[in-house]
Structure 1
Amino acid sequence: MNDTAIVLTLAAAVAAAVPIALAALGELLSEKSGVLNLGVEGMMLIGAVMAFQVGDASGSLWLALLVGSVAGAVFSSIHAFLSVTLRANQIVSGLALVIFGTGLSTFIGKSIEGKPLATDFTPIRWGPLGDIPLLGPLLFDQDPMVYATIAIAILIAFYLNRTKAGLSVRAVGESPGTADTMGIAVAATRYAHVMAGGFLAGMAGAYLVLGQVPSWSQDGTTAGIGWIALALVVFASWRPLRVLLGAFLFGFARRANFWLQGEEWAPNIPAEFLSMLPYLLTIAVLVVWGSRDLRRRVGAPMALGVPYVRDER
C-alpha cells in the first residue's frame, strides 16, 4: 500500500468516525444516567430522514442538522417515557424504538428514496497547515462537524467529571435511591439525558445524509452504525474522550475495506468479507467486554438498565 493511499484512508477514517462518535456520546449520556437505550439506530434513521427533507426543501445544511437532531431528541422521549415513567423493560423498549424508527423513516422517506442532495459540508481550509505531511489531511482538511464532534466530546467529559450537574448524573446512574435522598430529581435527570442522547443520535444520522452520503436510502443510510455505537460505549469504558479514539478505530475499520480490495494480495478475498470488518470488530468487543463483572470493573454505571421505584429505596 503506498503512502498516498494510507493518508487518504486515515483522513477518510476521521470523517467516518464522526457519526459513530456522536451516536456513542449520546448513548453514553443516557447510560451514565442509568438508562440503557438500544434504540440508537432508530433515532439515527429519524434524524437522517428529517434532516434530508429539510435540507432538500431549504438548502440550509445547518437548519437541516438542527431539525434532524431535534427529531432524534423528540423520538427518544418515547423511550424515556416507557423506561422512566412506566418502568418498562429497557431492552424491549429500545428494540421497539428501532423497529418503530425503521418503519416511520421508511414511510417519511418514501418520496425521496435515492434522491441526491444538492449540497453537503465542505472541508475547512487551514492554509499552510493543510500541507503538513500526514497531519495536514488528517487534522486540517476536515469539515466543520469533525471539529464540532471533538468539542462535544471534550465538553461532555468536562460536564460529567468537573461539574456539580455531572456529578448528579453519575450519582443517578450509580445509586438512584441515594441520589433521590440527596434531593436529586432522578426521573428528570434521566429524561433529560435520554433526550440529550437522542439529540446527538439524531445529529449523527443527519450528518450521514448531509456530509457523507448526500442521499436518503433506508436500507443503507445508517448501515448498522447505531449498533456499533452501542459497542463503542463499552469499548471506551464509558469515558467520552476514549469514545473519540474508539470511533476512529471503528471508522478506520469501515474505510479499510476499500483500500484492502485494491491491494495485490487481496483479490481472492471476497469483498463482502472485507465489508464485514467493522461488524466483526463490534462482535469482538462485545464478546471480550460483555460479562457483567468486567463491565463493573471498567466503569459501567451500577444501576444501568434498572428502573427506579422510589418506594423501594
Structure 2
Amino acid sequence: MSAPTIDATTPAPARPASQPVLPPIKWHAPITYAVVAVLGLVVFGLLGPSGETSTFAVSTPRDFIQFTPFSVPSKLTAILLCLAALGLAGVSFYETRRREKAGAWLPITYGFLMVFAFLVWAVAGKDSGLPLTGLLQGSLFLAIPLVFGALAGLLCERSGIINIAIEGQLLGGAFLAAVVATLTSSAYAGLIAAPIAGALVGLLLVLFSIKYVVNQIIVGVVLNVLVIGVTSYLFSTVLKENPDTWNNPPGLPVISIPVLSQIPIIGPVLFRQTALVYIMYVVVILLQVMVFKSRWGLRLRSVGEHPKAADTVGIKVNRTRLRATVLGGAVAGLGGAFFTVAAGLAFGKEMTNGKGYIALAAMILGRWSPKGALAAALLFGFANNLQLQLSIIQTPIPSQIMLMTPYVVTIFAVAGLVGRVRPPAAEGIPYTK
C-alpha cells in the first residue's frame, strides 16, 4: 500500500483559537539568584574564617526592653543563610517553569538572607560588633535626599517633563536653607526656604521646555551646571568671606515620639528622627494617594500618557505640566535641606555629590510610584550607610571597594529592572495644539 501524497501547496492546519501563544520563559531572575547564592556560599561560607564569631548589637540605651548583643558562628551561619537563599533560587526556578510570578516576598527574603550573610562574614572576629539599629537608622537618614529627589522626578515625569535638574534643585535647596537658617538663627526657617530654590529651578526647566520647546534633557543638564556655578561663586565670594553671618546654620533637633521611640529597633529607626524625616513620611503617603487615587492624579497621569486625549476632554496640558514641575522642584528643594540644616552642616561647593542622579535611578527602580521610590531610595541609603559602618569597624574589605558600594548597587539595581519598566508614554515630548 503506497503512502499518501501531500500536496506542497496545501496550507498547514491553522492553530485552534483555543490555544493561545504562550510567551517565552525568561530565566534571568532564577539564574541570577542561583549564581549569587553559590558565590556567597563559596566566599562568605566555605572560604570564610573558621572559629570566629560575628557580634551584632540591637538595643539602644533608651529602649524599653534591653537586648544584650548576640553572637553567631560566622562560617556556619553564612553557610546556612546562603543555602536558604539557594533554596529560594530553586523556588524561583519552579515558579518560572510554571510561568507564574512569585510574590514580592521572594526577592525581599532573598535579599535579606544574602545581606545578612555578607554582614556575618564582614564582622567576623570584630569585638565591637555591628550596631544593627544604628545601621538602619542611618540608612533612613541618608535616604532623605534620594526620596525627595525621586518624588520630584516622579511628579515631573508623570506629567511628561523629564527632570534631569534634580541635582541642581537639591543643591539650590541646600544653599538657600543654609543662608536663611543662618540669617534667622532658625533651622526651621531654612527648612521653609529650601523649597523656594528648588521651585525656581523647576520653573526655569518647565519654561524652557514648554515655551521655547528646548530638549528637556539638555535643559536639565544646563540647569545643573548653572546652579553649581552660581552657588560656587556665591560661596567663594560671600559665604566663605563671612561664614558667621551667611554660612553657620543651626541643625534641626532630633524629635523623639513619646513611647514609640523607645520600642526596640523600630523606635529609634522610625520615631527618633528630625522633622524632615517626619515630613518625608507625610509627603510619600500624600503623593501615593494623590497620584493614584485622586482626580488631580488622574489628570496628571493622563497628561503624561496621552496629552492629546487629555486636551480633548478639557485638561490644560501645559498648565498641568507647569504646576507639576514647579511642585516637583519644590519637593526636591526640600530634600536639599538635608545637606545643611538637617545634618547641621555649613554649605559647601557641590555638596550634593551626585545624589540627584541616584534619585533618578531610585525613581526608575521604583517604577514611577511614591512607595516604590521610597523603597529604592532606602536600598541606596542602606548601601551608603553600610560602607560607612563597615569602614568604622575596619573590615577586611578595601576602602576603595567600600566607597564604590552605593554606586555599584545603583548600577546593578537599575540594570536589572530598567528594561522591564515603561516610563510615561509622552515623557519628554513637547505638546502643542
What's the CA shift for 1:120? 0.8
188-197 or 4-13, which deviates more = 4-13
The letter for the 1-side match of 2:414 is L
TM-score w.r.t. the length of structure 1 is 0.91
What's the CA shift for 1:89? 0.8
What's the CA shift for 1:7? 1.0
126-135 or 238-247, which deviates more = 126-135
Q: Deviations over 1:247-299 (max 9, x none)?
A: 211111111111212446x24x33232122111122223322333xx332xxx
Q: Which of residues 424, 429, 433 in structure 2 aligns to 1:301?
A: 424
1:39 aligned partner? 165
1:200 aligned partner? 331
Spell out the pairing of 1:11-30 with structure 2 (5 A cutoff).
11-30=137-156
2:405 aligned partner? 277
> 2: distance between equivalents of 1:157 and 1:118?
32
TM-score w.r.t. the length of structure 2 is 0.67
Secondary structure of the structure 2 residue equivalent to 1:47: helix
- C-alpha contact (below 8 Å) 1:85/1:187 kept by paired residues: no
Residue 223 in structure 1 maps to residue 353 in structure 2: yes
Q: Rg: which structure is higher?
A: 2
2:368 aligned partner? 238
Secondary structure of the structure 2 residue equivalent to 1:184: coil
2:302 aligned partner? 171
Q: Which of residues 235, 239, 251 in structure 2 aligns to 1:112?
A: 239
Q: Cα RMSD over matched residues? A: 1.7
247-256 or 120-129, which deviates more = 120-129
The letter for the 1-side match of 2:155 is L
Q: Deviations over 1:48-97 (max 9, x none)?
A: 11111111111122221221211110121111011122111111111111
> 1: distance between equivalents of 2:344 and 2:304?
36
Secondary structure of the structure 1 residue equivalent to 2:143: helix
- C-alpha contact (below 8 Å) 1:49/1:108 kept by paired residues: no
Q: How many residues align?
A: 302
- C-alpha contact (below 8 Å) 1:168/1:179 kept by paired residues: yes
2:30 aligned partner? none
Q: Deviations over 1:226-262 (max 9, x none)?
A: 0110001110011111222222111111111112124
- C-alpha contact (below 8 Å) 1:113/1:217 kept by paired residues: no
- C-alpha contact (below 8 Å) 1:26/1:197 kept by paired residues: yes
1:155 aligned partner? 286
1:59 aligned partner? 185
What's the CA shift for 1:160? 1.0
2:204 aligned partner? 78
239-248 or 27-36, which deviates more = 239-248
Q: Which of residues 369, 374, 377 in structure 2 aligns to 1:247?
A: 377
* Deviant stretches of 4+, over 4 Å: 113-116
What's the CA shift for 1:213? 4.9
Secondary structure of the structure 1 residue equivalent to 2:277: helix
Q: Which of residues 243, 255, 266 in structure 2 aligns to 1:135?
A: 266
The letter for the 2-side match of 1:112 is L
Mark the runs of 5 or more structure 2 residues left unpaired by the alignment. 1-54, 59-130
The letter for the 1-side match of 2:331 is L
The letter for the 1-side match of 2:269 is L
Mark the runs of 5 or more structure 1 residues left unpaired by the alignment. none
> 1: distance between equivalents of 2:144 and 2:263?
22
Secondary structure of the structure 2 residue equivalent to 1:212: coil
The letter for the 1-side match of 2:409 is L
